[in-house]
Amino acid sequence: MESTPALAAPQPNYLIGPSRHGHALKPSSFFPEKRHPSAASLRLQKQYPLTLCGVLQRPASPLTCNATLSDTYSEVNELADIDWENLGFGLLSTDYMYTMKCGRDGNFSKGELRRFGNIELSPSAGVLNYGQGLFEGLKAYRKHDGNILLFRPEENALRMRMGAERMCMPAPTVEQFVEAVKATVLANKRWIPPNGKGSLYIRPLLMGSGAVLGLAPSPEYTFIIYVSPVGNYFKEGVAPIHLVVEHELHRATPGGTGGVKTIGNYAAVLKAQSAAKAKGFSDVLYLDCVHKKYLEEVSSCNIFVVKGNVISTPAIKGTILPGITRKSIIDVARSEGFQVEERLVAVEELLDADEVFCTGTAVVVSPVGSITYRGKRVTYVEGGFGVVAQQLYSVLTRLQMGLIDDKMNWTVELR
């Protein structure tokens, strides 16, 4: 079957493609008079007409999407039937994913929403043979009124473009990236946890999908977005995590790819991380590979050290990922009256710190209960957040969930 030729606005509760009984829908099934939307739905549609992405917008600010709908797309509005109270940080297969391809000309085709599932790749694909791939991570939150909030999606788009330049790849424009995220989130709206129960984790991928044998850029690239509802990243939840400083293995080197979110950066930490977890630690804190004395980051988080009113974090210098949560926490901390220093932070500064905490999309803010360095354990907080980490966590998460006014203009609201 052929895909629909354009992302024609699917009306609420109408099916596009095969019906729920497995039969193809007749053309008459697409017309409103064949279904009976509620009076409230009709009033809502009149006040906020659906745009091409299904995002409710006022008529003065229409939204367009560079995407088509696969013939398996249907809109379902009820919440998924899962245990929202016990979400961990693991993959739950949702309804739809977004795909878009780019050839040698560097231009991405129209994207498509299709059923979540496996993809087909040549065994000679650039991503499989030479690791030419990037990924991003961001979240969507459900507000009390049912509307959806995205947090700084344009920052993820910009970071992917920066990484793509380093990895010799074309990348979607910021507009293409953001609109693709919106379309994917709305197509999986029923998987967004109720307010306060978690978030919808959004994973964009950019990879060399074309076949290549010799070491060279891929002739084709695929951009994919999939999503999963998630709870806390660490098994401790918001309880303090326990880190061990790694002084032999290193996450990144100067001139390498530590400052971009390429897939290879993360496989490299698995050996040290697995050894640490076998000894009862939550994760690993890495040092710089030149002097072996300055803090870099945890396996997938940035780190902050608190002393009095001063919050210090390692400076971005090519070996540390420029985390979007990191950037946001710095701005929040300064707005709350803290002095924030981005600089070289020596490992010895951990010995007399008041608090230590980590930041990242998955963890948001995670308090550190202890750090062990060369056999010496330093303890910070027992059983919960330190005062500073709690304050910053509260402000940022309340902003992300729409519980306070967004004076930073960081959130994007979908209805």
Active site residues: 261
Residue 34: half-sphere exposure toward Cβ, Cα within 13 Å? 11
Three-state SS letters, 219-276: CCEEEEEEEEEECCCCCCCCCCEEEEEECCCCCCCCCCCCCCCECHHHHCCHHHHHHH
Look up residue 206 and give its two tokens.
């950019």
Place of tokens 């979007």: 324
> How buried is residue 396: exposed, middle or buried, by Cβ count under 10 Å (0-12/13-18/19+)?
buried
Is 199:297 a contact under the CB 8 Å cutoff?
no
Furthest C-alpha separation in the chain: 72
CB 301 within 8 A of CB 366: yes
Residue 340: Cβ within 10 Å count: 15
- Going by C-alpha positions, the residue among 212, 207, 211, 210 that lies closest to residue 223 is 207
Task: Report d(CA 279, CA 206) in Å as an integer.
Answer: 35
Residue 405 class from Cβ within 10 Å (0-12 exposed, 13-18 middle, 19+ buried)?
exposed
Q: How many CB atoms lie within 10 A of CB 292?
A: 12
Amino acid at 236: E
Distance CA 326, CA 141 (A): 19
As a 3-state breakdown, the chain gives helix, strand, coil percent values, each rounded to 5, of 25, 30, 50
- Alpha carbon distances (Å) from 39 to 21, 35, 46, 197: 27, 12, 11, 30
